[in-house]
Amino acid sequence: MFTSEKEYLKHYNIHDYDVPLVSVDIAIFTLLDGKLHILLVERGDFPQKGRWSLPGGFINQQQDKDLHATALRKLTEKTGVKTPHLEQVATIGNTKRDPRGWSVTVLYMGLIPYAPTADFIETVADARWWPYEVAIKQNLAFDHIELVTQARERLRVKSGYTVLPVYVLNAPFTLTQLQQAFEELLGTEIEKKSFRRRIQAADLLEEVGEGLPEGGRGRIAALYRPRKGSEQHAFIRAFGGSEED
């Protein structure tokens, strides 16, 4: 049919093809009053207008150089928050998830220290932090309940062998605060000595002075902030004892 690559590309037109919708959705978590929260937006337009959903949207071929850029842009436009950690979780694509037809979404998971959402937000009626347990009982748009639980699961598992939970805290923080963040994100308690031993042996934090302890009373606590690159450290042994299945 075509005789050269150049010839082929000249005649290529994506609209000759039957392409699915592609979107990016972002599950952003934080810790507020010691509890896991997730950021949801109320949809301002059809479809599913008025329902709560994950922030997200379509790729802008002019503005976005890659998928990660799309995720960051959508997050800023819709919520005004900036995340220090954003990772891809999975891509879900099927015929049923969107009434408009075959639809593919790339799901991201992000973590951030608590920050209020911006006053001005585009194309959404509202952007709000929800306690996780409350959020999953809402009637979310599309298949977002599954996306939310999938992102939550990634967060839980990865909190067991990395120091991801540092990203829901504002530095500097005490080891007790960090342990509480781990426990909330893991959904289980950690033995204090085990926790401190692991964190300190890994040398992923640097001490930056001392400060008030957790409850305002008691012995002065050492304050820490994450070292550069601590994000990608993986322990060979996971917290929690019971094996994953």
237 binds DNA (CB under 7 A): yes
Q: Which of 73, 128, 198, 225 binds DNA (CB under 7 A)?
A: 198
Q: Counting every residue, how long is the chain? A: 245
Tell which positions 36-65 bind a copy of itself, by CB under 8 A. Answer: 46-49, 58-61, 65
Least distance to DNA from the beta carbon of 60, Å?
43
Q: How far apart (Å, rounded) are the C-alpha atoms in residues 241 and 236?
A: 13
| Partner whose binding site includes residue 209, from DNA, a copy of itself, none (CB under 5 to 8 Å by kind) | none
Residues within window 54-83 making contact with DNA, judged by CB under 7 A = none
* From the list a copy of itself, DNA, none, partner contacted by residue 63 (C-beta under 5 to 8 A by kind): none
Q: How far apart are CA 145 and CA 148, in angstroms?
A: 5
In angstroms, the Cα distances linking 242 to 136, 194, 227, 238 are: 25, 15, 29, 9
35 binds a copy of itself (CB under 8 A): no
Reference 70, options 50, 52, 51, 91; nearest CA is 91
Cβ proximity of 60 and 70 under 8 Å: yes
228 binds a copy of itself per the rule CB under 8 A: no
SS3 (DSSP) at 18: coil
In this structure, what token pair is assigned to residue 26?
A: 């972002």
Contacts to a copy of itself by CB under 8 A: 2, 4-5, 7-9, 12, 14-15, 17-22, 46-49, 58-61, 65-67, 70, 88, 90-95, 99-102, 104, 106, 232-238, 240-245
